[in-house]
Amino acid sequence: MKTLDDLLAEGVAGRHVLVRADLNVPLDGETITDDGRIRASLPTLTKLVDGGARVVVTAHLGRPKGEPDPKYSLKPVATRLNELLDATVTLAGDVVGDSARTTVAGLADGEVALLENIRFDARETSKDEAERGAFARELAALVGDGGVFVSDGFGVVHRKQASVYDVAKLLPAYAGGLVLAEVEVLRRLTDTPDRPYVVVLGGAKVSDKLAVIESLLPKVDRLIVGGGMCFTFLAAEGLGVGASLLEGDMIETCKKLLAEAGEKILLPADVVIAEKFAEDAATESVLVADMREDWMGLDIGPITAERYAAALADAGTVFWNGPMGVFEMAPFAEGTRTVAQAIVDGDAYSVVGGGDSAAAVRALGLPDDGFSHISTGGGASLEFLEGKELPGVAVLEHS
């Protein structure tokens, strides 16, 4: 795989460099609630800018329906990137149209153009290779002859999309610093984890995590389960879960997992239940056998949180993906906080697997440096641990 350092050694002054970044940050209206992914993209961009490259950044935000939609404009992202990066960042008004061409043509050495949300063009995510290819050619044409591609959007390398995959076949392609760093961390988890290797999984659905559970179970020493998905496991144990999240069609699968590897799987002993899904709802901590019929479980309970913390205390390696409860609401944040704090307090090599868990770390005010690595890729890191090939990485290896 050719890397950013190889490109810098060639020299980038005056050259057009197309960079795929993952700047898909959570927004509340136009306010960015967690700019972690923008910050994570800075080292690669800074090196290119300092080298005098004319940088063209492409990124997505959310899942617009293949056409321009002001709700998904990269405008707030461009503003934040401009604040954080010591270079001028100009947002184009379209993806590969007149505005993009004019903005790119106007770049001086060390300046940055950000193209509008790449998913405003339906060809980006098309399943049709020819459609994606045509779009990738238009992207490549923006950087012209002598242009190169740097793949740095780790959070999106599991997507076979035009700006991630197809364009890497058209231009000389290099792995950016973020992609390299993330892959190295995940290799350490899959190759030689220090033991005990403890994985903490949360989030809403078992079905989203099933593949990773199946591939991790033989490799880990303990699998700690929280979040909405724990209720399907509890139901598999024959417990009533009231109005909690439940995937009825996954109960048999959970039974099978428990039968095969139950001694490794830790489930809640108690949960925080609420009368409704609201910050001001009436709440109660109950043993899992005592859940009320029309209340819902929104966090693991205090007994469970302590038990999970104890199961993390002696870990050699920890991978954590998915909050233990609805941490965005104060009454349901304690489970996630206790578990995260236990990881911070321990000496394990600890990796936070992207998305919501990374946001939880910052929202709960935990120190970023309390973890060995906070990944920018939720889905991407899970697919890596599942042993799947990541198209956006494979294409760089073969380029």
Instruction: Out of 3, 46, 79, 82, point to the residue binding Mg ion (CB under 5 A).
Output: 82
Those residues with Cβ within 8 angstroms of residue 129's Cβ, 6 or more apart along the chain or in another chain:
166
SS3 379: helix
Residue 155 binds to ligand 3PG (criterion: CB under 6 A): yes
Smallest gap from Cβ 79 to Mg ion, in A, equals 10
Interactions with ligand 3PG, residue window 3-22 (CB under 6 A)? 22
Distance, in Å, from the CA atom of 224 to the CA atom of 324, rounded to the nearest integer, reads 10
Range in contact with ligand 3PG (rule: CB under 6 A) among 103-111, 154-162, 176-184, 335-343: 154-162
Residue 65 binds to ligand 3PG (criterion: CB under 6 A): no
The token pair that represents 379 in the structure block: 């889905």
SS3 247: coil
Query: Do the beta carbons of residue 341 and residue 309 sit within 8 Å?
Result: yes
Q: How crowded is residue 290: how many other Cβ atoms within 10 Å of its Cβ?
A: 13
Residue 355 binds to ligand 3PG (criterion: CB under 6 A): yes
Length of the chain: 399
Nearer to ligand 3PG, 24 or 317 (CB): 24
Residue 193 binds to ligand 3PG (criterion: CB under 6 A): no
Distance, in Å, from the CA atom of 261 to the CA atom of 265, rounded to the nearest integer, reads 7
Active site residues: 37, 205, 355, 379
Residue 242 binds to ligand 3PG (criterion: CB under 6 A): no
Nearer to ligand 3PG, 22 or 247 (CB): 22
Query: Do the beta carbons of residue 58 and residue 20 sit within 8 Å?
Result: yes
Which of 389, 40, 386, 370 is closest to 199 using CA atoms? Answer: 386
Instruction: Out of 33, 63, 67, 207, point to the residue binding ligand 3PG (CB under 6 A).
Output: 63
Smallest gap from Cβ 55 to Mg ion, in A, equals 12
Look-up: residue for tokens 């936070």? Answer: 352
Count residues contacting ligand 3PG (CB under 6 A)?
A: 9
Residue 46 binds to Mg ion (criterion: CB under 5 A): no
Distance, in Å, from the CA atom of 180 to the CA atom of 146, rounded to the nearest integer, reads 24
Nearer to ligand 3PG, 203 or 378 (CB): 378
Smallest gap from Cβ 24 to ligand 3PG, in A, equals 3
Range in contact with ligand 3PG (rule: CB under 6 A) among 86-94, 106-114, 155-163, 300-308: 155-163
SS3 151: strand
- Catalog residues that contact ligand 3PG under the rule CB under 6 A: 22, 24, 63, 155-156, 159, 355, 378-379
